Amino acid sequence: MPKLTIDGIELEVEPGTSIIQAAEMLGIEIPRFCYHDRLSVAANCRMCLVEVKGGPPKPVASCAMACGEGMEVVTNSDMVHKARKGVMEFLLINHPLDCPICDQGGECDLQDQAMAYGYDRTRYRETKRSVKDKEIGPIVKTVMTRCIQCTRCIRFCSEIGGTDDLGLINRGEDVEVGPFIEKNLATELSGNLVDLCPVGALTAKPYAFTARPWELRKTESIDVLDAVGSNIRIDVRGNEVMRVLPRLHEDVNEEWISDKTRHAIDGLKKRRLDRPYLKSGKGKDAKLAECTWDEALKAVAERLTGVKPTEIAALAGDLVDAESVYALKLLMGGLKSPHMDCRVDGALIDTSSRGNYIFNSGIAAIEDADAILLVGVDPRKDAAMVNARLRKAFVNKQVKIALIGEPVDLNYPVETLGDTPQDVEAFIAAKDGFAKIFRDAKKPMMIVGMAAFQRDDGAAVFALLQQLAESFALVREGWNGFNVLHQAAGRVGALDLGFLPQGKDGKDFHAILDGARKGAIKALFLHGVDCFDVRQMVGKDCFVVYQGHHGDAGAHAADVILPAAAYTEKDAYYVNTEGRVQMARKAVAPLGDAREDWKIIRALGRLVGIEMPFNDLSELRTAMVKEYPVFGALDVVCPAPVSKPAAKSGVLGDQAFVNLIGNFYQTDPISRASAIMAECATTYGQDGALEDAAE
């Protein structure tokens, strides 16, 4: 443990700590451009120069110099100031003075550090060089003349993005960052390059010239476009969401977010349901027409009270928040209907224990695992941030990863062990190969995707996986390697709230649709359900109420549309795939006449004669926490046991696991409405890319 002093303050650090890291621990700021604590050290910007007494009489790059015993580091001597000024002067030689028209202006490291550490004038009289801009995809806009060759983007792409596309081309005065051969960055994390770039060379294409950082109001919130629950910051001007940035959360998304999380937000302005609609007319002439909230809610209430309780059913969709699902469950309970389900993707998960359906070990624990088995999952498309962790685990530890399921394109090596449930059986029985590694592992981890359950024999597959978990002792002292990776942000919350068929008469998802088609279900309440073609599945005669925020599959089929708030427009709890309860915060007001979900359901309850025991959100939460204590602790992962395999689980089929997400960029009503996501899907050739979403 080397002991050293920095600016006279003595400290002891772990061997291998660099001076810049040690200074950071003391809160001493050292300017830098190329150094980034999640990337390898390049030491090529030279901005972090410090003086080390006793060493050679020249400034030292503090990011590349490890702390040594007895070092005396000075970060504010005349030598350091002079060195920084010199470096800054060189950096600015070829940097254009176009801050007024640069999107980075106001949040630019170079701008800030030039103010803090640079000269106040230039001595350079010659021509500045100019560099041709590169075309690297629909997310990142390049103005390469502004580039200072810090190479953060190159290192991010090859180390974290897993796509070695960018490099340093040519040398000396001609050096430029680029792919050399023009190509789009093959990563769904490309938006992070914009955050990494310390200057305005890489800026966000969709956000170009729309806002200045000082105009924006910032709200810390949670992303709902996948089940990871990435921590985000929503930047708002007026009542418009301008951009989404990542927020640091070491256990969830570190400091990255996927391109969908970041840029699907233009979908929040398109195809929105901003007023209630009611279908009037009969048969062919039936048409949705605008109406008032009173009319819409009355129509729903009349229908709900006009049929038998057992003829009512409710489904909760992908983007629903916990509070509204709780309210909806109370409503259904009050109506005495047992038919409700939240597994609208048809994934037959055994919900007898909480451990059966959450990512038990936590996302961060992927880094600790020493052998990982993927079953029926495409981590890259299901949850890009989980995939980034898997890659990190591979890069740091060369962890062995195997896959039973549809072969997928991942950015780390994966051994494929087949794609059917029978291959899982064979794996349990196997004695050598990956099975041996998995059996010998201290921290074996299995990640199961929805593809394993979204099938008729889903329950049997689940039982089989429970067997696998027992056979390999995935759950052991201090370690639970049984992980389910969800695709929808609302799912785990709804499962925690038990939004499932009640009692033995309760119909599940498939039975509800079947009943609706055959007439057993006469009124169907869709709470944000958009993941399948509703009218086709439900039949013509069922009365469909749709509550949600986008004119997508659900609204197209509805008889009544109740416009609700999107995730940026409400305070709400979401539970991510780890079972971590996180709070999304309201950044803007709901659009038009739309209302927050729980309020709509409460108002509807009143009309059908059900008084809910709360009048505002905090009362609702208190009631919810009382009944479901998991919601009592925010941002905590509670370990939960995995149940024993059920005795009766049906017959195992022999079809291969098929991943249902063929298109990463368009998975939900918001991203399907986004023109930028449509462009990404086309650019990256995703299966079934939808056309540009016009109004």
Partner 1 sequence: MKAHVLAHDQQPSSFSFTPENMVVVEDILSRYPKGFQRSAVMPLLDLVQRQTAAEGKNAEPPYGGWIPQAAMDEIARIIDVSPIKVYEVATFYSMYNLRPVGVHHVQCCTTTPCWLRGSSKIVEACEKHMGIKVGQTTKDGVFTLSEVECLGACVNAPAVQINDDYFEDLTAETMTEVLRLLENNIDPKVGPQVHRHASAPEGGATVLKDAEPKTQKTSSKKS
Tell me which of 170, 398, 536, 655 binds partner 1, using CB under 8 A: 170
The residue behind tokens 């990563």 is 187
Tell me which of 1, 97, 115, 181 binds partner 1, using CB under 8 A: 181
Q: Which two three-digit tokens encode residue 305?
A: 């009270």
Q: Is residue 442 packed enough to be buried (19+ CB in 10 Å), middle (13-18) or exposed (0-12)?
A: exposed
x-marked contacts with partner 1 along 113-152 as a string, rule CB under 8 A: ----------------------------------------
Q: What angle do CA 362, 486, 596 make, to 5 degrees?
A: 105
Distance, CA of 343 to CA of 510 (rounded, Å):
9
Residue 173 lies near partner 1 (rule: CB under 8 A) = yes
Q: How far is the CB of 43 from partner 1 (least distance, A)?
A: 18
Distance, CA of 532 to CA of 668 (rounded, Å):
11
Q: How far is the CB of 171 from partner 1 (least distance, A)?
A: 5
* CB closer to partner 1, 120 vs 173: 173
Residue 530 lies near partner 1 (rule: CB under 8 A) = no
Distance, CA of 187 to CA of 216 (rounded, Å):
28
Residue 563 lies near partner 1 (rule: CB under 8 A) = no
* CB closer to partner 1, 24 vs 133: 133
Q: Could you tell me which stretch among 169-177, 307-315, 491-499, 518-526 binds partner 1 (CB under 8 A)?
A: 169-177
Residue 168 lies near partner 1 (rule: CB under 8 A) = yes
Q: Is residue 96 packed enough to be buried (19+ CB in 10 Å), middle (13-18) or exposed (0-12)?
A: middle
Backbone dihedral region for residue 287 (phi beyond 0: left; psi -120 to 50: alpha; all else: beta): beta
Q: Indicate the Cα dihedral angle 287, 289, 295, 297, nearest 10°.
A: 70
Distance, CA of 503 to CA of 147 (rounded, Å):
63
Distance, CA of 248 to CA of 245 (rounded, Å):
10
Residue 193 lies near partner 1 (rule: CB under 8 A) = no
Q: Could you tell me which stretch among 90-98, 178-186, 322-330, 454-462 binds partner 1 (CB under 8 A)?
A: 178-186
Residue 179 lies near partner 1 (rule: CB under 8 A) = yes
Q: Could you tell me which stretch among 159-167, 215-223, 285-293, 364-372 binds partner 1 (CB under 8 A)?
A: 159-167
Distance, CA of 343 to CA of 494 (rounded, Å):
9
Q: How far is the CB of 162 from partner 1 (least distance, A)?
A: 11
Residue 169 lies near partner 1 (rule: CB under 8 A) = yes
Tell me which of 167, 309, 334, 662 binds partner 1, using CB under 8 A: 167
Residue 284 lies near partner 1 (rule: CB under 8 A) = no
* CB closer to partner 1, 174 vs 409: 174
* CB closer to partner 1, 158 vs 502: 158
Residue 172 lies near partner 1 (rule: CB under 8 A) = yes
Residue 174 lies near partner 1 (rule: CB under 8 A) = yes
SS3 640: coil
Residue 165 lies near partner 1 (rule: CB under 8 A) = yes
Nearest to 314 by CA among 343, 353, 274, 345: 343
Helices assigned H by DSSP within 204-292: 259-263
What DSSP state is assigned to residue 119? -
Tell me which of 119, 124, 180, 209 binds partner 1, using CB under 8 A: 180
* CB closer to partner 1, 159 vs 368: 159
Binding site for partner 1 (CB under 8 A): 158, 164-174, 179-181
